[in-house]
Structure 1
Amino acid sequence: MSIFSHDRGVLLLARGDELLVDRVAGVADEVTGAPCTSATRFQIASISKQMAAVAVLLLAERGTLRLTDPVVRWLPDPPPAWSGITLHHLLTHTSGLGHWEEHPAVDLVAPAEPDELLAAFAAVPPLFRPGAAWHYSSPGYVLLARTVERVTGRPYAEFLAEEVFAPLGMTDSFAGSGAGRPDVAVGHEGGRPVPSWDLATVSMGAGDVWCTGADLLTWLDVPRRGRLLGPSSVAAMIAPHAPTGRPGEAYGYGFFVGPLAGRRAVHHSGDNGGYKAFAAWLPEEDQRLVLLSNQAEVNPMAVTSVLDRATA
């Protein structure tokens, strides 16, 4: 059941509340030789978008914002081209904003001043009018995290720690830089350490969260058991709002919704420099699957073979 390149990372599979696969392998840091353990925190990359979506939904439930709000209401000096973009459009990747490849001027590794980062995003015209198409956009989720900060008057990472992670008991999870933190896996490519992307600003809301495997498995209880959010918010989060163009697949709020290994699933992968991640919940079988690796060569979608073996 080895799906890790060079056997580096964590793999968990649960059916109901029973853990069927619990595998930890390899080293967290090639330089020190520190091993990966169940306490090791990994960058979950774009799975972090789910935390941003939940933060926005929590604020919507509290009445401090609406998903129909134009994002320009919550941002400093927004460009006119963003005037028709709502929070719903950002959540579903239907805003027309580009992904990182459309923003070559943005350095994913170097720290950035927040308003300068927004200006860099604004310098690239939208690809289409809001709601007209689907195009995956990490910058759109950065805008959502900035919105959370503007609405609450609190740092985004602090809001996640106190309002999202703590109530769920995800005590080993955090957002932002891993510098100085214990039990943090170093990203590797070709067996060598690589610099981390900037998670404090550039990837805030889009790819900034660190989790243990157990914490990410717990996270899947948000859609699975309706934890943290009310029923209507959970339903909205995993509803097929926007077709992605792949057969049978749509995007909800922070989740892909569609077939996985031939079964209905809500899922997301993650790909930061030196890290790969995958998390999925299959409602009909009540299976949860988590893969975290600090090796760039891992193919997250290879975990579907684990699901096949578990039901064989």
Structure 2
Amino acid sequence: MSTPSLERGVLLLARGDELLVDRVAGVADETSGRRCTPATGFQIASISKQMAAVAVLLLAERGALSLSDPVVRRLPGTPPPQWSGITLHHLLTHTSGLGHWEDYPAIDLHGPAEPDDLLDRFAALPPLFRPGVGWHYSSPGYVLLARTVERAADRQYAEFLAEEVFAPLGMTGSFAGSGDGRPDVATGHEGGRPVPSWDLATVSMGAGDVWCTGADLLTWLDVPRRGRLLAPASVAAMTAPHAPTGRPDEAYGYGFFVGPLAGRRALHHSGDNGGYKAFAAWLPDSDERLVLLTNQAEVDPVAVTSVLDTV
């Protein structure tokens, strides 16, 4: 059995509870020469949106908020009136009309930024369409969801994930926010050289701020696979095809793309932060879970799906 080339990072494939591919390769940090190991943490980038979705669903189960709540009721200050029709459901499904990072050129992804100033920068751009009438991938929408979690839970977002999401799942190598000062995290690389991290404490909070080991991200896929952490109705809502993305037979749930992968039914998401790429998928018909984490920007995450045809 052959596996796709991986110069640095972690590649895992499980069928059922059997681990079929377990590969760790390359250096975590070019400067020090420190190697990647199974304990190395990587930025999972936009896969972090799944954690934000689960946090919102947990709070909805507890009655602390509703997915039909207008986001303007959940944010500090006086949000712009053009956001008045946007609900948490719209943010979760990328149907709010808010833009993605390229639509906000004044925002520096490397930050840092004051949280309320960041909201003002989001508000400076009128929505691209009325809520619910289109689909446009929006990381800023997930930043608003993280702010909503903080206010509804009366806790810092990273703290809520640590205590209410990662700890119950046994994801001991996972955390949200800055990786500065942590001894076993991978440095992002482009062209073989280390690059500075994006700001994960504020600018990418909820949208791309989580670090995981490969094993932890494999465990994470047990949330939809085994219904861990959430009630059945919440799992069903998270994995439902709420909004067509415009690609054939594909829709967006809450933090998951729902559609074909290597010709098979799948829940999946890729991630792309500066110097990092990530991919995670669960194929329910074959009960396969696929995880890629790499600190090499040049990797095509979706290309690793070829490993599904080798086992």
TM-score range, shorter chain: over 0.9
Rounded to whole Å, the distance in 2 between the matches of 1:223 and 1:243 is: 20
What CA deviation, in whole Å up to 9, does each residue of 1:61-116 have, x standing for no partner?
Answer: 00010000000001122000100000000000000000000000000002000000
Aligned to 1:238: 239
Alignment-mate amino acid for residue 49 of structure 2? K
| CA apart distance, 1:260 | 0.1
What CA deviation, in whole Å up to 9, does each residue of 1:29-64 have, x standing for no partner?
Answer: 000000000000000000000000000000000001
| CA apart distance, 1:4 | 4.4
Secondary structure of the 1:265 match is: strand
Alignment-mate amino acid for residue 193 of structure 1? P
| CA apart distance, 1:2 | 5.1
| Percent of aligned pairs sharing the same letter | 84
* Structure-1-length-normalised TM-score: 0.98
Kindly report which structure 2 residues correspond to 1:135-174, keeping only aligned pairs within 5 A, or say none: 135-174=136-175
Aligned to 1:25: 25
Alignment-mate amino acid for residue 87 of structure 2? T
User: How well do the aligned residues superpose, as a CA RMSD in angstroms?
Assistant: 0.7
Rounded to whole Å, the distance in 1 between the matches of 2:99 and 2:175 is: 27
> Is the contact between residue 3 and residue 307 of structure 2 (CA under 8 Å) also seen in structure 1?
no
Aligned to 1:262: 263
Rounded to whole Å, the distance in 2 between the matches of 1:24 and 1:46 is: 22
> Is the contact between residue 69 and residue 87 of structure 1 (CA under 8 Å) also seen in structure 2?
yes
Consecutive aligned runs of 4 or more in structure 1 exceeding 4 Å deviation: none
Alignment-mate amino acid for residue 73 of structure 1? R
The count of corresponding residues between Structure 1 and Structure 2 is: 309
Aligned to 1:288: 289
Rounded to whole Å, the distance in 2 between the matches of 1:36 and 1:159 is: 28
Rounded to whole Å, the distance in 1 between the matches of 2:26 and 2:173 is: 20
Secondary structure of the 2:303 match is: helix
Kindly report which structure 2 residues correspond to 1:124-139, keeping only aligned pairs within 5 A, or say none: 124-139=125-140
> Is the contact between residue 3 and residue 298 of structure 1 (CA under 8 Å) also seen in structure 2?
no
Aligned to 1:51: 51
* Structure-2-length-normalised TM-score: 0.99
What CA deviation, in whole Å up to 9, does each residue of 1:167-212 have, x standing for no partner?
Answer: 0000110000000012100000000000000000000000000000
What CA deviation, in whole Å up to 9, does each residue of 1:150-178 have, x standing for no partner?
Answer: 11110000000000000000011000000
Rounded to whole Å, the distance in 2 between the matches of 1:118 and 1:134 is: 21
Kindly report which structure 2 residues correspond to 1:50-89, keeping only aligned pairs within 5 A, or say none: 50-76=50-76, 77-89=78-90
Aligned to 1:93: 94
Secondary structure of the 1:118 match is: helix
> Is the contact between residue 270 and residue 278 of structure 1 (CA under 8 Å) also seen in structure 2?
yes
Note the residue ranges of structure 2 that are not aligned, 5 or more in a row: none
Rounded to whole Å, the distance in 1 between the matches of 2:3 and 2:274 is: 22
Rounded to whole Å, the distance in 2 between the matches of 1:199 and 1:4 is: 29
Report whether the alignment pairs 1:300 with 2:297: no
Aligned to 1:203: 204
Rounded to whole Å, the distance in 2 between the matches of 1:302 and 1:47 is: 17
Secondary structure of the 1:28 match is: strand
Alignment-mate amino acid for residue 14 of structure 1? A
> Is the contact between residue 4 and residue 298 of structure 1 (CA under 8 Å) also seen in structure 2?
no
Secondary structure of the 2:57 match is: helix
| CA apart distance, 1:239 | 0.2
Cα 1:4/1:158, change in 2 over 3 Å: farther
Alignment-mate amino acid for residue 210 of structure 2? V
Deviates more, 1:301-310 or 1:222-231: 301-310
Secondary structure of the 2:65 match is: coil
What CA deviation, in whole Å up to 9, does each residue of 1:111-168 have, x standing for no partner?
Answer: 0000000000000110000000000000000000000001111000000000000000
